[in-house]
Amino acid sequence: MKSTKLLMADHESILEALMYARRYVQLLTEHIEKENYVLFDKADQTLTDEEDQKIADAFDHFDKNIVGTPTYERIHGILEKLASKYLGVAVH
């Protein structure tokens, strides 16, 4: 059985890890919001349809040929489960 001192240290470590996890979630949330409402809006205003399609094709190529289809599908499956469980939304 662990001593009270060790249990307190474990508890403090968990609280610290949670604090950093929350900070990271906040950072990612702010980053994604900036992408969605600043960067993508600016790209929509600036890029031609042809340029936009080239970028989409490059991302598709990266997903299929660099990441690999099995890995991409596995990661996408994990994201679908997390989005459904924690956000109550379906990801397509």
User: By three-state DSSP, how is residue 46 classified?
Assistant: helix
**How many domains is the chain partitioned into structurally?**
2
Which letter does DSSP use for residue 47 in this model?
Answer: S
Q: Which two tokens stand for residue 55?
A: 């970028």
30 and 41 co-located in one domain? yes
Question: Residue 21 corresponds to which amino acid?
Answer: A
State how far the Cα of 50 lies from the Cα of 68, in Å rounded to an integer.
Answer: 25
Counted residue by residue, the chain has a size of: 92
Q: Which domain holds residue 16?
A: 1-46
pLDDT per residue as tens, the chain (92 positions): 667 766 677 888 888 888 999 999 999 999 999 999 999 999 999 999 999 999 999 999 998 899 998 998 999 899 899 988 888 877 76
56 and 26 co-located in one domain? no
What pLDDT does residue 2 have?
A: 64
32 and 54 co-located in one domain? no
78 and 39 co-located in one domain? no
CB atoms within 10 A of CB 76: 13
36 and 76 co-located in one domain? no
What pLDDT does residue 92 have?
A: 66
pTM of the model: 0.54
17 and 36 co-located in one domain? yes
State how far the Cα of 8 lies from the Cα of 56, in Å rounded to an integer.
Answer: 50
